[in-house]
Amino acid sequence: MEEAVEKFSCLIIGSGPAGYTAAIYAARANLKPVMYTGLQQGGQLMNTTDVENFPGYPKGVMGPEMMEEFRQQAERFGTDIRFGIATKVDFSTSPKKVWIDDTKLVEADAVILATGAEAKWLGLPSEQRLNGSGVSACAVCDGFFYRNTDVAIVGAGDTACEEAMYLSKLCTKVHMLIRRGEMRASKIMVDRVLQVPNIEVHWNTDTEEILGETGVEAVRVVNNKTGVRTDIPIKGFFVAIGHQPNSAVFKDYIDTDEQGYVVTKKGTASTNVEGVFACGDLQDKIYRQAVTAAGTGCMAALESERWLSEHGLI
């Protein structure tokens, strides 16, 4: 006997600041939202130690602790939070169809996508071991912790240049590690970086290992032209080689840009599909902050409520 298909008014796919904020607003609007959290409940903040730039936490807060408080607030207003991964969707029908873990089919009138994005890493064991203990993929989030120290950043695009310049205002010295003899960033960004006195650019440089037991102490690099290895003493190591939005499962129906970020209509959380909304890092490649993700989660929930009301579905 086949399991009955569950039908929801509002389905939220993904957790984290965007998903949980959407859940809080949707639940308070009596939409009775159901959330499937995805593999990493709480999103990227579950890998973050101190968060000091989110309003309302004057003493700072650990990322996992903050996400637990978000979850509790969403549940307090009646969000049905479930563990599961959306593995297939069909947004061509009304209601929309979503398969969870390849087996369970659910349907929803409105769907909020909050699956986020993942930082790309170099793939070094030490990189993951020291993640949160000196290794970071967000200079704006964590640069403050390394003020008045020497740090390194790997990356050659516009974002890496921006983050290097941001770090240069806080840190004594910024070592910028570039694999080739040129950057892929725009010329104006490269020129700006080269004019900053405390940014030292290391051309043709590969990162071999991040050194340190409980925290970052140095980075071992090798010049891929000469083969010369060097240990550079640092306290922070920043990876800025890009992010990968978790949008693959939606691409048959939802418009994305060349990098895979979901495209929303300007100033809204609306996608190209009626009744499907996107929020958080899934559609934001510029700011990528918890507070901006939460803001777009609010937008997605308010727009979902309005859309459902206009179509007589609540």
Residues 6+ apart with CB under 8 A from 260: 244, 245, 247, 248, 251
Could you give the CA distance from residue 262 to residue 117 in angstroms, rounded to a whole number? 11
Could you give the CA distance from residue 305 to residue 296 in angstroms, rounded to a whole number? 14
The tokens for 298 are: 């609010």
Active-site residue, from 10, 141, 161, 171: 141
Q: How far is CA 80 from CA 32, 38, 264, 300, in A?
A: 8, 14, 26, 18
Where do we find the tokens 């609007």? 29
Active-site residue, from 109, 142, 150, 284: 142
Could you give the CA distance from residue 210 to residue 261 in angstroms, rounded to a whole number? 30
Q: How far is CA 191 from the centre of its chain?
A: 28
Q: Give backbone dihedrals phi and psi of 123, rounded to 5 degrees, phi first.
A: 95, 15
142 is catalytic: yes
3-state class (DSSP) for residue 234:
coil
β-bridge partners, 86: 100
Active-site residue, from 50, 80, 138, 158: 138
Contact 282, 246 (CB under 8 A): yes
Neighbours of 211 (CB within 10 A): 17
Could you give the CA distance from residue 168 to residue 53 in angstroms, rounded to a whole number? 19
138 is catalytic: yes
The tokens for 44 are: 């990227």
Antiparallel, parallel or unpaired: β 80-82 and 276-278: unpaired
279 is catalytic: no
Catalytically active residues are: 138, 141-142
